[in-house]
Homo-oligomer: A and B are copies of this chain.
């Protein structure tokens, strides 16, 4: 693609006006369709939009949902472990937990096994909220997964996991 910019610049100080495209001409995506970064971004946007259309924007967002799932599966989980598996730094985890605690969905408690440690636990309200949310998440996941057959879905999940594990 570089030859366009370079070639024209050599002849003309204001190259772009000359090469103006016709209105409504097909958009040339250039190098974008071959870039992992661009495609991951668009795909993630797509999944976020599906989440919003099924669940709503003001509700529990995907990151909080994952946090609740991790806490349900690992009662007493440490903040730092949540950070690791959500891909979120410490300050952000603290902010997320503060929000969930204010909403009464999780609580921070001293460990019953080791009083020096503090762990995160779902409250009853958090557990019910998560249960209800899971029903919707299953629906939206089914919707997104319907674009793939079983083999493709397994491959796709494996490829995505290579990007962060």
Q: A interface vs B, CB < 8 Å?
A: 1-2, 4-5, 9, 13-17, 19-23, 25, 27-47, 50-51, 62-63, 66, 69-70, 72-78, 81, 84-85, 87, 109, 111-114, 117, 119, 121-122, 124, 127, 130-131, 134, 137, 140-141, 144-145, 147-148, 152-153, 155-157, 159-164
Copies of this chain, whole number: 2
CB distance from A70 to the nearest CB of B (A): 7
| 11 A-B contacts (beta carbon < 8 Å) | A14-B124, A17-B112, A20-B75, A29-B69, A30-B69, A32-B70, A37-B141, A41-B62, A44-B44, A46-B164, A152-B159
Given contacts A38-B62, A85-B27, contact A69 B32 (CB under 8 A): yes
Q: Which 4 A-B pairs have the closest CB atoms?
A: A43-B163, A30-B73, A44-B44, A20-B76
What B residues does A27 contact at CB under 8 A? 70, 73-74, 77, 81, 84-85
Residue of B nearest to A155 (CB): B155
Contact A5 B131 (CB under 8 A): yes
Pick the residue among B9, B13, B22, B43 that contacts A160 (CB under 8 A). B43
Contact A23 B141 (CB under 8 A): no
Contact A66 B44 (CB under 8 A): no
Pick the residue among B16, B73, B162 that contacts A122 (CB under 8 A). B16
Contact B112 A46 (CB under 8 A): no
What B residues does A74 contact at CB under 8 A? 21, 25, 27-28
Pick the residue among B29, B69, B81, B156 that contacts A73 (CB under 8 A). B29
CB distance from A60 to the nearest CB of B (A): 12
CB distance from A65 to the nearest CB of B (A): 8
